[in-house]
Structure 1
């Protein structure tokens, strides 16, 4: 388990430095989030980092912990958007134990009446990918 009082930069031992002067807001935000303690990252922060494939190896276990407590945790978009970001992590990044945890999590939400349709679509896609692996 990662030390949640440390940032991605500290945990990875690699600082990105300042973003380029012409960087987009998304790039500037990713740079800033890499400097924040991972335990202080919001659902939206985690969603953004996962979708940008930043710190995946360290963040997936933390995101799974959060989603096991609150499966439809919401960033800035809709209920379950953090789960959707997690389910979009490329298959090559999944560790077997993490894949089992994610599969267990989605099994609880699969076709549940409270699961938003956009989340269900990603559950269906994830199920297909995880079975193909």
Structure 2
């Protein structure tokens, strides 16, 4: 990745628009807006939304892991740990292609196991880590 990738939008980085034209739901409008916003301006909630839609994972997962290193229970708009919850729900194909990121995630979970067991993060998502 380029050194300045965090200052670019997913549209610049991925060279396209993932949203199908003609749809105008609130979620699609929000994702389109976020797709055009520089990554360094993303909030925790912005990351949660886009990762939840499986958009821009090559860029957003590293950002999310940086945030989770600071606070494993980082919170978007819903509950403590909602960022981790969407990260844990990312498609297994992504993780199979990104073993180094999976190793970081597994380490974060292992080092915060006791805290996570007392959190709102669904225990079923923690299985295997």
Please, what TM-score do these two structures have when normalized by structure 2?
Answer: 0.85
* Alignment of 1:51 onto 2:75: no
Contact persistence 2:89–2:125 (CA under 8 A): no
1:103 and 2:102 aligned: no
Change (3 A) 1:74 1:67: same
Q: Give the 4+ runs in structure 1 shifted more than 6 A.
A: none
Contact 2:19 2:28 in 1 (8 A): no
Aligned length in residues: 125
Q: Residue 17 and residue 26 in structure 1: after superposition, are their counterparts in 2 closer, same or farther (change >3 A)?
A: closer
Task: After TM superposition, give the deviation of residue 42 of structure 1 in Å.
Answer: 0.6
Q: Return the TM-score normalized by structure 1.
A: 0.83
Cα shift at 1:91: 1.0
Runs (5+) with no aligned partner, structure 1? 128-133
Matched, 1:26 2:27: yes
1:81 maps to 2:82: yes
Shift of 1:59: 0.9
Aligned counterparts of 1:88 and 1:48: Cα–Cα separation in 2: 12
